[in-house]
Amino acid sequence: MSEEARPRAARLQKWDTAQIAGAVYGTISAAVIVAGWKGTTPSDLVYLLLGYVLTLWLAHSYANFVALGGGRTGWDGLRHTLVHEWPVAQSGLTVTAVAAGGALLGADAADTQDVALIVCLVNLVTWQLIAYRSGPPVQPSTLRVGLVVNTIIILAIVGLWALVK
């Protein structure tokens, strides 16, 4: 069966809870980097994000590889962990691509930062929706708590952005 023919919920099942958690973490941390950035060109943001996202992914993967000590070992174990933890990087590479677009189009640094921050916040909500859609039915109380926590995180990131501006 082709990827397109599979039901949407089945396609979403390819991520487990740890991967979704890593993607949420990667998205929030990339948003903090974007919000706190005080560079002068969009390419500065691209380099910062690229370095940060790749370092975060490698560090997160290595930490999980070490913590799983009794699981897969050697280079195969490390490779498996790097693949499994890819959503940590994937979540930040989206906003890196947006910043690269700003650099290629000659956009203003502040405008690129604003658009990149909006993309981060949309990614955050998207990963939460993926988590809700790919797991068991979600209780209304969980949705309310998620909404409150998302709002707090978004306000904190936007607050940092406002302070830096």
pLDDT tens digits for 3-48? Answer: 555 555 555 457 788 888 899 999 999 999 999 999 899 999 999 9
Residue 6 domain-assigned (yes or no): no
Residue 84 domain-assigned (yes or no): yes
Whole domain around residue 122: which residue ranges? 16-164
List, as one string, the DSSP characters of 83-142.
HHTHHHHHHHHHHHHHHHHHHHTT--HHHHHHHHHHHHHHHHHHHHHHHHHHSSPPPHHH
Q: What Cα–Cα distance (Å) separates residue 5 from each residue in 2, 16, 155? A: 5, 21, 39
Residue 117 contacts residue 31 (beta carbons within 8 Å)? yes
Q: What's the pLDDT at 82?
A: 92
pTM of the model: 0.83
Highest mean pLDDT: which of 3-7, 55-59, 130-134, 160-164? 55-59
Residue 2 domain-assigned (yes or no): no
Split into its structural domains, the chain has a count of 1
Q: What's the pLDDT at 13?
A: 54
Residue 1 domain-assigned (yes or no): no
Q: What is the mean pLDDT of residues 80-84?
A: 90
Residue 7 domain-assigned (yes or no): no
Residue 8 domain-assigned (yes or no): no
Consecutive H or E run containing 144? helix 140-164
